[in-house]
Amino acid sequence: MSAKDIAEMSFEEALEELESIVAKLERGDAPLEESINIYQRGAQLKSHCESKLKNAQLKVEKIVLDGKGQASTEPLDN
C-alpha cells in the first residue's frame, strides 16, 4: 500500500487505494492492528474522494439559451 499523502492524490489514485483497502479488509488476511490502521486510512481516502467529487460537482455547469438564442451557463442544479 502506498504511503502517499492523501491530500496530494488524484481522485483516481485515492479510489484505487480505497478499493485495495476494502478488498484486503474483506479477505480478513490482515492482523487486527493493521486492519485498524488501514481502516482509518480508508476513511480518510473516502473523505478525500467525496471532497474531490463535491468540487467537481460545483464546477459543472449547463448551457442554456435565452429567448434571443444567446447561450450562457448556469449551475447545473438550477
- For the domain that residue 36 is a member of, what is the CATH number? 1.10.287
Residue 43 forms part of a structural domain = yes
Write out residues in the chain with pLDDT < 50, as ranges. Answer: 1-2
pLDDT at 17: 97
pLDDT at 70: 80
Residue 22 forms part of a structural domain = yes
pLDDT at 1: 42
For residue 41, what are the domain limits? 6-75
pLDDT at 77: 66
Cβ atoms of 9 and 26 within 8 Å: the answer is no
pLDDT at 8: 95
Q: Provide the domain count of the chain.
A: 1
40: number of CA atoms within 13 Å, CB side? 6
Residue 1 forms part of a structural domain = no
Quote the mean pLDDT of the chain: 87
Q: How far is CA 49 from CA 2, 14, 30, 58, 71, in A?
A: 16, 7, 24, 14, 33
